[in-house]
A and B are shown apart, each in its own frame.
Chain A
């Protein structure tokens, strides 16, 4: 493979726009695809071992290594790695009369940044899943890893494609894999419903993306990134006319934003993500926390020049406020939930909101950095929850678990969870602290967004509270537990006892889960260190973004209460975080050893129905049901009746018509020679009449 790359070294030296080369990067796509096919074959041949897991881990690790090598070769240059001709349609020679979409890869720093953490995390999480899914060894196991590899392939298409069509292929591919994996336990009605919900809500976003791609082609006459960015640099459309002030400059970014909001679960399309936790936990960690849901952030970062085209930054304002509202809304819902995986899901929605706010206020570096750090610490948090779920027979209710971190064999889980929580809460000097700060500070630094800054600051406080609510409830305190309902092993004995769970022994995680958790915890900490590489560019991630098309100039005009927001935010956000953690400590740790109820539960009556509403997720699902689903249902019943009576009736009528005609004509075939001859003679007369009439 080195030999394959080395000739491209010389190419890399020549610094130009986008250049051909680095074809070895196609291997990043090839390995997961092959692994997916191999796992599918395993299912066909009925493999009943952990073989599919090792195939997947191996292939994904290979992809990661290739990505690392490309990163080493490419530096900060842009490459186009040509695979093969995929779609070439031409209906003329003029501009906009050819549609070219090759299976080629567009490799710049942004691509590499995404691919590094996608392939890296995917490898680790596949390793984790090899143990986590072990109770399903057999066809289900093969199926899981086939989808898992296919997801990584699709994600690679999405991130690395050199045109919007390949991006769309990947976009739909990850959506499909998400659907398949959420519905992995397909005998469970709630999982099936969640899968359908995720798919349908995503379709709404996909419509936006499709409209965006269509408009790009109509406007620029190409869907390939290289010529597209060339034109965007000039600010002209495909015919060379300036675009500033046109409808395209305003609305194409909005279309892409709708797509991004669907995939990244932003208000109002966020409702699918919490339900998506019905899938196996590794899936939640990889797809629904670390990678796929950041595809929206990637899309907007990738198309950033398009967003900057419009001087009024209309679309960016929508992105910023969409993100801000989502962040606050999801955080308030997260406060009141009891299912720890769901809390993590809402925190993901909330953190994604932060990222979009960051994009909106023109710190793509901050957004990308938050994506990067979030990927590690949120994966850690999910996998810890998964380990608990795995060990306690599916128990996820924080009221029924306590002191898990101090149980025998659960130490690594406890520590990893603690590190993850510190990151999410934005505890000083953790990775999450630095990345969140960049976004928070920029909201105050960009004029006109101070209000959004206060919203996000409040959200940061709430985040710290609900994060440590989970930690103080589940991982520390008195050791108590109630197993979940997936516990069937000791059924014969448990009938004799009043408390079924007395016979239940939580089984602590094995080496695969523990080592992955330890590694991820370390990486979550290490992610903070990247902030100090290339400090003027806001860290290593910042320098990666800076050298890609996502680069923007962040304004430095606004202040935070008269101070430089970038300096002040170090202290302010730390204080906010402390306050959140302190409240959680007071309400959910203090007094739990002496009292049946936590302090928070005693406070509940004081806040009245608000807590119930938050627990009911502000009834957004019910609202959608009443406003959108029910009317559609009524309409579909109406159409069903119309279809039955009118359309079917017409179709049946036309269906009967030939038979009726046949019955009418049948007597003419009576087998009598004379009548046949008479028929022919009649035809003869008719022909002569026609001739006479038309002459």
Chain B
């Protein structure tokens, strides 16, 4: 057991930081309270560095996934932290500066940052999970704090309504996948993922096992906002403060996709005619889920006039794209055939470019709230002519939107390219056609954003649109938008890292259990290929 602690060092660091933040958030001294963000940042940075040096392990199903996912989460987490600056306790601090006494009981700062860190911890724990119970707890740790974050992100009623919806529907999803987990346990008699895999390898999946995995994947689909669990997305994103929406669009999704990776790896891609596919029932469910998610997400985004809702639907659509990678599976492990590494790489691209778009929205505000409180800009009209009024923000938005659209040679294109090549080499031609048609549909609304920001005259009201005073948000916006260009030269190394991340655990553990499986498994070859690549 003790060697497992070495694997979760980053989580431990984050947990300690959480405790510190929870305490100092209550301080009566403004500068100490203020330090919450800094302390969190330091904690995340340390966790990220530790994640890189995670020791190799045999007990995890996908050992390479642990450092990759945790480093990614820490990196994007830092940007999110910057973006979250100034979200919480805005009016409270305003009243304190007017001379009112600080009441710790009414302050939310400590909770907000600690929930943020808890949620990140949950995402990281998902990557480490080697057990169904652990996976369930990790997923819920990633999600539960976000319900609260949505509720307290703005003082408006809308946020609370969103949080309630999010909570109830989230409970529905959690119940679904927990029931699935229970069925898997019932079918195999164990909760350890590698043991489950070995038992499935020898005894087959069975009706109960299939139903269990189907329900588990469906329940987790809530986290990634895939059809049919996507309904909450626009309402919740719209209700939450924009930085929190950006967080929702990344962290729970990352957790969900990590869980998807683990669960599908547990089933193994050895069920198709060529020994390179999931069992029919699971594959069909995922296939339909992917196709519907892309289509419904994009199609509903078309009608939106609120950029925030548009981005919410677009995040649904991007989940659909990533599901294509899961449907295809690892192929022969080479980078253009490996759907899993393509999916992981796309998650990375999506993390940056999606945050760029949300961050720009969070940066531009209008000071005409009824109670003098700044309101976020969120309609298409609000960002008209942004390139002229606020060039840096405008161009950040344009870059992010074009990358989301998948315009060559930006990062989004690279990600989509790999998904497409993986889909084609996996024989999923129809799904690839659906993906490409969806890209065309998506171009319509992304280009509306781009054209509005670049070519149209600023809205008459935009005159009072001002940049936020929070420098952190602007840094987050510019950094995310820049990364869609800056990361381009590093696409090769990043893709190779993604490949290593999805390589299955070394074969020794399997050989002892069942030799036939290890021989038949294409995943063994994956590992070899990756070794050669290095």
Contact = CB atoms under 8 A, between A and B. Distances in A.
Contacts of B53: none
Contact of B299 (A662, A673, A682, A683): A662
B299 A680 contact: no
A690 B172 contact: no
Given A677-B169, A687-B215, A691-B210, A662 B285 contact: no
B228 to A, nearest CB: 3
A669 B231 contact: yes
Contact of B218 (A661, A671, A687): A687
A679 B226 CA distance: 12
Interface string A486-512: 000000000000000000000000000
Given A668-B231, A683-B227, A673 B165 contact: yes
Contacts of B231: 668-669, 676, 679-680
B514 to A, nearest CB: 23
Nearest to A683: B228
B392 interface: no
A695 B300 contact: no
A688 B180 CA distance: 11
If over half of B's interface residues share one DSSP class (helix, strand or loop), that class is named, otherwise mixed; here it is helix
Interface in B210-254: 210-211, 214-215, 218, 222, 227-229, 231-232, 234-235
A658 interface: yes
Contacts of B157: none
Contacts of B214: 687-688, 690-691
B281 A690 contact: yes
Contact of A680 (B228, B235, B296): B228
A693 to B, nearest CB: 8
B230 to A, nearest CB: 9
A188 interface: no
B302 interface: yes
B92 interface: no
B285 A680 contact: no
Nearest to B279: A694
B24 to A, nearest CB: 37
B169 A663 contact: no
B429 interface: no
Residue from A679, A684, A687 whose CB has the most chain B CB atoms within 10 Å? A687
Contact of B303 (A663, A668, A688, A695): A663
A665 interface: yes
B305 to A, nearest CB: 13
B168 interface: yes
Contacts of B288: 690
Interface residues of A, number: 27
A666 interface: yes
Contact of A659 (B169, B235, B303): B303
B281 A694 contact: yes
A687 B303 CA distance: 29
Interface string B79-113: 00000000000000000000000000000000000
A665 B207 contact: no
B434 interface: no
A159 to B, nearest CB: 37
B303 A676 contact: no
A661 B294 CA distance: 13
A690 B284 contact: yes
B207 A666 contact: no
Contacts of A619: none
A686 interface: yes
Given A673-B165, A687-B285, A658 B302 contact: yes
Nearest to B205: A695
A688 B284 CA distance: 12
Contacts of B444: 658
A677 B231 CA distance: 8
A275 B280 CA distance: 70
B475 interface: no
B43 interface: no
A673 B228 contact: no
A673 B172 CA distance: 11
Contacts, number: 82
Contacts of A671: 235
Interface string B185-214: 000000000000000000000010011001
A558 B211 CA distance: 95
Contacts of A668: 231
Given A671-B235, A677-B169, A680-B229, A666 B210 contact: no
Interface residues of B, number: 35
Given A676-B232, A677-B168, A679-B228, A691 B303 contact: no
A688 to B, nearest CB: 7
A684 to B, nearest CB: 6
Residue from A668, A682, A684 whose CB has the most chain B CB atoms within 10 Å? A684
A658 B298 contact: yes
A695 B210 contact: yes
B281 A658 contact: no
Given A671-B235, A683-B228, A691-B285, A677 B172 contact: yes
B173 interface: yes
A514 B300 CA distance: 76
Contacts of B228: 679-680, 682-684, 686
B300 A680 contact: no
A665 B169 CA distance: 20
A688 B285 CA distance: 9
Interface string A645-669: 0000000000000110111011011
B232 A662 contact: no
A684 B217 CA distance: 11
Nearest to B303: A662
B140 to A, nearest CB: 17
Contacts of A679: 228, 231
B176 interface: yes
A692 to B, nearest CB: 8
B264 to A, nearest CB: 15
Contacts of B234: 669
A687 B213 CA distance: 11
Given A658-B302, A662-B299, A680-B169, A694 B284 contact: yes
Contacts of A687: 214-215, 218, 285
Nearest to B280: A694
B164 interface: yes
B13 interface: no
B172 A680 contact: yes
Contacts of B235: 669, 671
A680 to B, nearest CB: 5
A677 B300 CA distance: 19
B510 interface: no
B169 A673 contact: yes
A684 B210 contact: no
Contacts of A662: 299-300, 302-303
Interface string B109-153: 000000000000000000000000000000000000000000000
Contacts of B303: 659, 662-663, 666
A695 B285 CA distance: 12
Given A662-B303, A669-B234, A683-B228, 12 more contacts: A659-B303, A671-B235, A676-B231, A679-B228, A680-B172, A680-B231, A684-B176, A691-B207, A691-B214, A691-B281, A694-B280, A694-B281
Interface of A: 658-659, 661-663, 665-666, 668-669, 671, 673, 676-677, 679-684, 686-688, 690-691, 693-695
28 contacts: A658-B444, A659-B303, A662-B303, A665-B296, A665-B299, A666-B300, A669-B231, A673-B164, A673-B165, A673-B168, A676-B165, A677-B169, A679-B231, A680-B173, A680-B228, A680-B231, A681-B172, A682-B228, A683-B229, A684-B215, A687-B214, A690-B281, A690-B284, A690-B285, A691-B211, A691-B214, A691-B281, A693-B281
Interface of B: 164-165, 168-169, 172-173, 176, 207, 210-211, 214-215, 218, 222, 227-229, 231-232, 234-235, 280-281, 284-285, 288, 295-296, 298-300, 302-303, 441, 444
Listed from nearest, the 4 A-B pairs whose CB atoms lie closest are A683-B228, A676-B231, A694-B281, A662-B299
